[in-house]
Structure 1
Amino acid sequence: MLSHDDNERLVRVGKGTPLGNLFRLYWIPFLPSADLAKDGQPKRIRLLGEDLVAFRDSEGRVGLVDQACPHRGAPLIFGRNEDCGLRCVYHGWKFDVTGAVTDMPAEPVRSRLKERVRIKAYPCRERNGMIWTYMGPDQAELPPLPNLEWNLVPPEQVHISVRVQECNWLQAVEGEIDSAHAPLLHGRLDAQGTTSAWIQKRDLRPTFECVKQDFGMSIAARRNYDANTLYWRVNQFLLPFYTLVPPLSPFPDLSGHAWVPIDDENTLCIMFSYHPSEPLSPKTRQIFAEGHNGRESGHASRHALVQHPVTVPYAGYWTKYNPQNGFQFDYQAQQTTWFSGLPGLWVQDGACQSGVSPIFDRTKETLCSSDTGIAMTRRFILEALGAYRDHAVRPKGVSDPDVFMVRAVSLRLPPEDSWVDVGAPFMRAKLGADFGYEL
């Protein structure tokens, strides 16, 4: 378990908090490019507890600015996006993507007020269909975008979905780096609707090994495959908030999430699934986009999303599966078919990650051996926080974009082989290269 103070350090992301300061050193993905049209409707955004508005101007540039007009605090989500700027509907003040005021129609012609007024604005970059922003201290000399493989492969090789989850970012991260839950939470029952025979057929007691890396943490789960073979699944945690999940035959794709903190109690879940060297199959894309037989896959399907008013951050990415309706838990299905009774893969994860509260009190938890990766990842993050706060030491990935060229792996190895040594070349991503081993 964690102390109360350490738990606070790991969940608070606002400006001036240790974690918020660390996260602001990195470029942050926050919206699909397709969501913003030239001179189109602005979008309400909240990132790391800051309330913002995103828009694309007449020349195609993306702006991310404060939600409130600096004149009298009118909401810029209602602003007119026209002629290379966002114009407040209250008194017509107009702002460009840099935050500069370009027009004050109600002011005298000779007024120089607009030269002295500026709205908060963060720089944005686009790559392969995703918009990124930098909210950090080095606005004059921006760091490079991170070389994450999912954002570098051709579009036909990747599927990306976005949804809001009503819990703190760390609860979501810890759910994905935890391999012990997968065969249980995501499992089906046997023909009689019981777990006994089903459990006996599986090795549900993995042994965990963890290795600290430049990018974060490798969390390896070892299971018995047969008498002469061990099966290793190595999940990856990458600072600041990325998780990578290994491929699982017969589904040959890599997947993971950017768990972007909206604020302390809500997370933007950007999920990516991609094949490193081949296009995704049409069937795979259809399941991701539509679900399967009324159930959700690892991606939020289009049927799962509900539309909120434009004043709500990420208005189009909230889902019908949430704590308020019990994630549509189905007791009858739990008795007959599905171990969890929850309607699909990400819903099962989301229900458990959201837990009993948006921020779980980790002083009350009871960790066990299968939580080794979670405990070591927490320690890794706390060490990074301390190094930056006390000594201004920045994680390597802030300035070196290739730190992020990492893959999760699933390996079948003889007992005498080390997953660290054998897996090292397969855990380094190389654009265009296949997995390099048999799935």
Structure 2
Amino acid sequence: MLSKDDNETLVRVGPGTTMGDLFRNYWIPFFASKDLEKDAQPQTVKLLGETLIVFRDSEGDVGLVDNVCPHRGAPLIYGRNEDCGLRCVYHGWKFDTKGNVTDMPAEPVKSRLKERVKIKSYPCVERNGVVWTYMGKEDEATRPPLPNFEWNMVPEENVVVTFRVQECNWLQALEGEIDSAHAPILHGRIDQKGYINDWVAARDLRPTFESVRQDFGMSIASRRVVDEDTLYWRVNQFVMPFYSMVPPQAGEFHELSGHAWVPMDDENSICLMFSYRPVEPLHPKSVKVFNEGYKGRDGGHHSVGSHDNQGPEVPYGRYVSKFRRETGYHFDYELQKTQWFSGLPGLWVQDAACQSGVAQIYDRSKENLCTSDTGIAMTRRMLLELAGAFAETGKLPDRFDDPDLYMVRSVSLTLPKEEKWTESGAEHMKAEIGKDFGYVL
């Protein structure tokens, strides 16, 4: 369990908090490029406790700026996105993507006020359909390079990336994914249909766990018995500052997957999910299910039809899901009795309901951790250590600014019982563009 003070340290992410200030040293993926059109209506977002406006100008550049006009405090969400800038509808002040004032219609022509006024803005970079921002120091020379995550660097046909809002703090969400003990239980069926019942992990519901601290974060390995000579290892990865990676499964529809659990504020996260294959296109059926769901259920991804668009004035309004606390996640008791162990409609919905359903910030001092929570406990300990060092001296994690630190894969390995996963899996856990899995799934 975590003490209340330690819990507060890890989940508070606004300006001036330890974790919030730590996160500002990293590039943050926060929006889908395809959802920002030139000169289209701006969208409200919330990142690390700050309400901001994102828009794409006439030349295709993305701006991330304050949501309030610095003149008289009018809301910029109603701004006119036109002629390479965002114009406030109150008095016509106009701002470019860098926050500079480019026009003040109500001021004298010779006025120099616009040289002294600037709206808060954060730099944005796009790569492979994802918009990233950096919310740290303004000095461009001190920014780290964009992290080389493999999922954001493979060809377009090899990857699917989706966004949704999750109603809990970032750590609750992340801990749900680095815990692989729950997967064959929560996601299981009672009608003996579907691939989940044939999964190797479902044959041994009492795995043994080992965790190893890495430069990038933490490797959490679960060991299951296949037979007297063979073990099945699944290694989930926690990658600083808020990424989780899940191992591939065997079979036709294999892929690597994971999430960025980006803190909107203390109680909500924007969940970016990625699924990809390193050297070949994703299976067409996988792409269809990811984007459209299947028979009213969602898989690992939030399907397009499951959004409940709340409008551009609501932070991440277009990414709000119909599966949320307010709607009871569409829990179906009849299905729980006849088909699905959980009665919840889809993989990510099952996870989100368990991670967020009780409280957006759960009191972790009430937990009773067990052996399967080894990875969670070690990850918390590591985060508290890093947070403490940062708070006391400003020290950042080693190699945090090395873009190749993030070239990491999760793995699922079937090994003779005498082989160590740390040795046999070391090379397979290193991502490299153009390199296939390298082992039999």
Same fold (TM over 0.5): yes
The one of 396, 400, 403 aligned to 2:402:
400
Q: Are 2:60 and 1:65 aligned?
A: no
Match of 2:421 in 1: 419
Within 2, Cα distance between the matches of 1:339 and 1:369? 23
The alignment partner of 1:319 has SS state of coil
The answer on 1:212 being equivalent to 2:213 is yes
CA contact (8 A) 1:12 1:19 kept: yes
- 1:284, 1:242 → 2: CA distance? 22
**C-alpha displacement of 1:58:** 1.5
Separation (CA, whole Å) in 2 of partners of 1:329 and 1:350: 12
Question: 2:415 & 2:138 partners in 1: Cα distance?
Answer: 45
Query: Which residue in 1 is equivalent to 2:139?
Result: 139
SS state at 1:247 partner? coil
Opposite residue 29 of structure 1, the aligned amino acid is P
After TM superposition, the structure 1 = structure 2 runs for residues 183-332 of structure 1, keeping only pairs within 5 Å, are 183-190=184-191, 202-250=203-251, 251-332=253-334
Q: Which amino acid aligns with 2:380?
A: R
Contact 2:264 2:270 in 1 (8 A): yes
C-alpha separation in 2, matches of 1:394 and 1:358: 28
Residue identity matched to 2:234: R
Separation (CA, whole Å) in 2 of partners of 1:414 and 1:202:
17
Q: Is the 8 A contact 2:210 2:220 kept in 1?
A: yes
Contact 2:200 2:226 in 1 (8 A): no
Q: What is aligned with 1:195?
A: none
Large movers: runs of 4+ above 4 Å:
198-201
Letter of the 2:55 partner, please give it.
Answer: F
Structure 1's 76 and 296: CA in aligned 2 closer, same or farther, altered over 3 A? same
C-alpha root-mean-square deviation of aligned residues, in Å? 1.5
Other structure's SS at 1:427 match: coil
Shift of the alpha carbon at 1:201?
7.2
C-alpha change, 1:200 and 1:289, in structure 2 (3 Å) is closer
Contact 1:396/1:403 (8 A) holds in 2: no
Conservation of the 8 A alpha-carbon contact between 1:146 and 1:397: no
* Distance in 2 between residues matched to 1:162 and 1:12, nearest whole Å: 22
Distance 1:371 1:140 in 2: 40
> Does the CA-based 8 Å contact 1:239-1:397 persist in structure 2?
no
* Identical pairs, percent: 65
Amino acid at match of 2:82: E
**What letter corresponds to residue 236 of structure 2 in structure 1?**
N
CA deviation string 1:102-141 (max 9, x = no partner):
1110112221111111100000111111100000125332
With over 3 angstroms needed to count, the CA separation of the structure-2 counterparts of 1:313 and 1:418, relative to structure 1, is same
SS at match of 2:219: strand
Q: Secondary structure of the equivalent of 1:425?
A: coil
> Structure 1 residues 72, 200: closer, same or farther in 2, change over 3 A?
closer
Matches within 5 A, 1:41-80: 41-80=41-80
Distance 1:366 1:45 in 2: 36
Q: Distance in 2 between matches of 1:211 and 1:191?
A: 35
Counterpart AA for 1:176: E
Residues 232-241 or 248-257, more deviating: 248-257
- C-alpha distance 191-274 of structure 1, shift in aligned 2 (>3 A): closer
SS, match of residue 375 in structure 2: helix
Q: 1:64 to 1:371 in 2, by over 3 A?
A: same
Give the count of matched residue pairs. Answer: 434
Cα deviation for residue 199 of structure 1 reads: 13
Give the stretch that moved more between structures: 122-131 or 54-63. Answer: 54-63
Change (3 A) 1:433 1:249: same
CA–CA separation in structure 2 for the residues paired with 1:308 and 1:276: 35
Shift of 1:59: 1.5
Structure 2 counterparts to residues 17-56 of structure 1, below 5 A: 17-56=17-56
Moved more, 429-438 or 388-397: 388-397
Alignment of 1:59-208 (within 5 A): 59-141=59-141, 142-190=143-191, 202-208=203-209
Structure 2: how far apart are the matches of 1:138 and 1:161?
29
Structure 2 letter corresponding to 1:12: R
Look up the SS of the partner of 1:375 in the other structure.
helix
Q: Is contact 1:244–1:256 with CA below 8 Å preserved after alignment?
A: yes
CA separation of 1:285 and 1:199: change in aligned 2, threshold 3 A: closer
For residues 80 and 294 of structure 1, the distance between their equivalents in structure 2, rounded to whole angstroms, comes to 38
Contact 2:191-2:340 at 8 Å conserved across structures: no
Q: Give the aligned residue type for 1:392.
A: G
Shift of 1:398: 2.8
The TM-score normalised by the length of structure 1 is 0.97
Partner AA of 1:248 in structure 2: Q
Cα drift, residue 228 of structure 1: 1.0
**In 1, distance between residues paired with 2:291 and 2:109?**
53
Matches of 2:6 and 2:279 in 1, distance apart? Answer: 41
Shift of 1:43: 1.0
1:336 paired residue number: 338
Distance 1:143 1:106 in 2: 40
Q: Distance in 2 between matches of 1:209 and 1:169?
A: 23
Q: Which residue of 1 aligns with 2:196?
A: none
Report if the CA contact (8 A) 1:397-1:404 is conserved. no
Q: Deviations over 1:39-80 (max 9, x none)?
A: 121111110110100111111111100000011111111101
